[in-house]
């Protein structure tokens, strides 16, 4: 069993736990079958969760979590109030047992210290550089072999980065319009709204931009199998992940086929969304998704080809920077309220926007931060 720390957007640690609990039994054991290991006990730490589980499951969080930022594997912790204590313990770490050094022996170290006597990061880096040089390892700024060192209350925790590039990079959004929402925040929005379930529905984004909310709405339980995570190269990684055919084992995974519709008035942005759709299909599966070049303020709602049978959800991250948008956008969204099959509307918006729907009422509004902007995530439902 190993300790893992999985980081996520701050204040959403409980949503991350909920997500992990949801996909836990979709992960694979070393015999290629869905895991039989019981759910771990989660401990919340600001900006992430800590838990203990088998190595092969902790590593798979990288593939399955759409909310997490990064998965760190705890290697060792020790107490150090003085430099000589730090030096003595750091020297003991055998990096060649962790990393599969190829041609060059290089590592990158991220260090962070708080509430500790040893807080001077420059001095700590000098000490580490000296020790690494003795071990013939080069300290560089951009190696795939990455260690996170955290000092807190004089306890030094050394963790191995298993993720590499931040997990919100899914690979499908090669083309982006103005102000796209981060992929993991889009997934978080959908999970909070209860839309990451398998029940068949139509999801409409009337301001879809590059399509992030729509793509994320069908990723529940679908792992990211198309990217070279650093954990594949760790010395301790189970042989399962090194076999060329291991991903074929996941036979129990089935994509959810919601009907997705994105409206976008800017043709250039719409074309980017269509290009992303092609990449998404190559990397994951072909979604039931249509992008339309339409101005949401003017379109005839009957022409949108929405089936009366499917429950409809509107999910959107409209433009908020433009002048007048605080009144214009709520007015545009109000037009969609007349759609009979509408079950709810989820809108990410500046906190001072006012919505005056007739049939819909706010059922939840929570603070949400997107690229440093303070927003509200409001969920409106029919009364
Ligand atoms: C904040 S962006 C959406 C970003 C999107 N969630 C993404 O991740 O790429 C808002 C989008 O709404 C589009 N837009 C603005 N007014 C519109 C309208 N009346 N009808 C349709 N699209 C509109 C803009 O061109 C822009 O691409």
- CA 252 to chain CA centroid, Å, is 22
Q: What is the mean pLDDT of residues 1-17?
A: 97
Whether residues 38 and 86 share a domain: the answer is yes
User: Cα of 66 to ligand 1 centre, how many Å?
Assistant: 23
Q: Six-digit token pair at 383?
A: 């009364």
Q: What is the mean pLDDT of residues 67-95?
A: 96
Whether residues 39 and 138 share a domain: the answer is yes
Whether residues 349 and 209 share a domain: the answer is yes
For ligand 1, say whether the CB of 179 is within 6 Å of any of its atoms.
Answer: yes
Q: Give pLDDT tens digits for 164-183.
A: 999 999 999 999 888 899 99
Check residue 299 and give left, alpha or beta (phi > 0: left; psi -120 to 50: alpha). Answer: beta
What's the domain range around 13? 2-161
Q: What is the mean pLDDT of the chain?
A: 94
Q: What is the dihedral of CA 98, 30, 60, 173, to 10 degrees?
A: 110
298: Cβ–Cβ under 8 A, 6 or more apart, which residues?
none
For ligand 1, say whether the CB of 135 is within 6 Å of any of its atoms.
Answer: no
- Residue where one domain finishes, among candidates 161, 196, 228: 161
Residue 363 lies in a domain: yes
User: Cα of 209 to ligand 1 centre, how many Å?
Assistant: 4
Residue 200: the pLDDT is 86
Give the closest residue (by CA) to ligand 1 atom 26: 209
The DSSP code for 99 is B
Whether residues 193 and 60 share a domain: the answer is no
CATH number of the domain bearing residue 360: 3.40.50.150
Residue 213 lies in a domain: yes
CATH number of the domain bearing residue 115: 3.30.2130.30
User: Cα of 202 to ligand 1 centre, how many Å?
Assistant: 19
User: Cα of 263 to ligand 1 centre, how many Å?
Assistant: 8
The DSSP code for 101 is -
At residue 81, does pLDDT exceed 80?
Answer: yes
| Kind plus residue range of the DSSP H or E element containing 200 | none
* Residues 339, 303 contacting (CB under 8 angstroms): no
Residue 198: the pLDDT is 80
User: Cα of 327 to ligand 1 centre, how many Å?
Assistant: 15
At residue 138, does pLDDT exceed 70?
Answer: yes
Number of Cβ within a 10 Å radius of residue 22:
15
Residue 45 lies in a domain: yes
pTM reported for the whole predicted model = 0.95
User: Cα of 134 to ligand 1 centre, how many Å?
Assistant: 55
Whether residues 265 and 194 share a domain: the answer is yes
Nearest atom within ligand 1 for CA of residue 213: 6
For ligand 1, say whether the CB of 295 is within 6 Å of any of its atoms.
Answer: yes
Whether residues 143 and 197 share a domain: the answer is no
At residue 308, does pLDDT exceed 80?
Answer: no
| Kind plus residue range of the DSSP H or E element containing 211 | none
111: Cβ–Cβ under 8 A, 6 or more apart, which residues?
121, 124, 125, 148, 149, 150, 151
Q: Six-digit token pair at 11?
A: 């204040």
Q: Which of 312, 295, 199 is nearest to 256 (CA)?
A: 199
Pocket test of ligand 1: the residue of 209, 271, 298 to mutate, having most ligand atoms within 8 Å of its CB, is 209
Residue 323: the pLDDT is 66
Q: Which of 258, 194, 177, 271 is nearest to 222 (CA)?
A: 258
Whether residues 155 and 55 share a domain: the answer is yes
* Residues 136, 168 contacting (CB under 8 angstroms): no
Pocket test of ligand 1: the residue of 319, 330, 348, 353 to mutate, having most ligand atoms within 8 Å of its CB, is 319
- The number of folded domains in the chain is 2
Range scoring the smallest mean pLDDT among 27-31, 170-174, 194-198, 261-265: 194-198
Residue 229 lies in a domain: no
Whether residues 50 and 147 share a domain: the answer is yes
Residue 243: the pLDDT is 87
Q: Which runs of E-coded beta strand occur in the chain?
A: 2-7, 43-45, 48-53, 70-79, 106-114, 138-139, 146-152, 155-161, 202-205, 259-264, 288-293, 312-316, 342-350, 360-370, 373-382
Spatial distance between the Cα atoms of 221 and 206, rounded to a whole number of angstroms: 26
Q: What is the mean pLDDT of residues 335-354?
A: 95
Whether residues 203 and 352 share a domain: the answer is yes
Whether residues 82 and 35 share a domain: the answer is yes
User: Cα of 349 to ligand 1 centre, how many Å?
Assistant: 13
Q: What is the mean pLDDT of residues 196-219?
A: 95
Nearest atom within ligand 1 for CA of residue 332: 19
Whether residues 111 and 213 share a domain: the answer is no
For ligand 1, say whether the CB of 212 is within 6 Å of any of its atoms.
Answer: yes
Q: Is 320 exposed, middle or buried (0-12, 13-18, 19+ CB in 10 A)?
A: middle
The DSSP code for 193 is T
Residue 292: the pLDDT is 97
- Residue where one domain finishes, among candidates 110, 129, 161: 161
Give the closest residue (by CA) to ligand 1 atom 7: 180
């Amino acid at each position: 069993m190993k300790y893992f720390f999985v980081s996520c957007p701050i204040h959403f640690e409980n949503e991350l736990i909920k997500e992990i609990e949801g996909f836990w039994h979709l992960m694979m054991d070393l015999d290629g079958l869905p895991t039989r290991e019981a759910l771990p006990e989660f401990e919340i730490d600001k900006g992430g969760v800590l838990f203990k589980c088998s190595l092969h499951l902790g590593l798979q969080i990288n593939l399955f979590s759409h909310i997490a930022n990064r998965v760190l594997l705890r290697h060792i912790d020790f107490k150090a109030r003085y430099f000589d204590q730090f030096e003595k313990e750091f020297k003991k770490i055998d990096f060649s047992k962790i990393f599969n050094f190829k041609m060059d022996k290089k590592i990158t170290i991220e260090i962070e210290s708080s509430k500790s006597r040893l807080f001077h990061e420059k001095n700590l880096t000098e000490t580490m550089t000296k020790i690494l040089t003795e071990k013939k390892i080069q300290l560089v700024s951009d190696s795939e072999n990455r260690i996170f060192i955290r000092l807190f209350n004089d306890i030094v925790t050394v963790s191995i980065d298993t993720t590499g590039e931040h997990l919100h990079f899914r690979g499908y959004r090669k083309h982006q319009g103005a102000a796209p929402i981060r992929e993991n925040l889009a997934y978080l929005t959908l999970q909070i709204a209860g839309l990451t379930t398998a029940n068949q529905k139509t999801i409409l984004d009337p301001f879809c931009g590059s399509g992030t909310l729509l793509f994320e709405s069908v990723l529940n339980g679908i792992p990211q199998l198309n990217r070279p995570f650093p954990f594949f190269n760790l010395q301790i990684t189970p042989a399962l992940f090194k076999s060329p055919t291991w991903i074929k084992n996941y036979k129990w995974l089935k994509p959810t086929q919601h009907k997705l519709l994105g409206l976008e008035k800017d043709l250039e942005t719409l074309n980017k969304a269509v290009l992303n759709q092609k990449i998404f299909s190559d990397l994951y599966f072909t979604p039931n998704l249509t992008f339309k070049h339409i101005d949401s303020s003017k379109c005839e709602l009957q022409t949108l080809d929405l089936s009366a049978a499917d429950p409809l959800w509107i999910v959107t991250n409209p433009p908020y920077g433009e002048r007048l948008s605080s009144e214009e956008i709520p007015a545009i969204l109000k037009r969609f309220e007349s759609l009979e099959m509408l079950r709810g509307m989820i809108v990410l918006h500046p906190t001072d926007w006012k919505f005056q729907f007739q049939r819909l009422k706010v059922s939840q509004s929570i603070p949400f931060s997107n690229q440093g902007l303070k927003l509200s995530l409001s969920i409106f439902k029919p009364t």
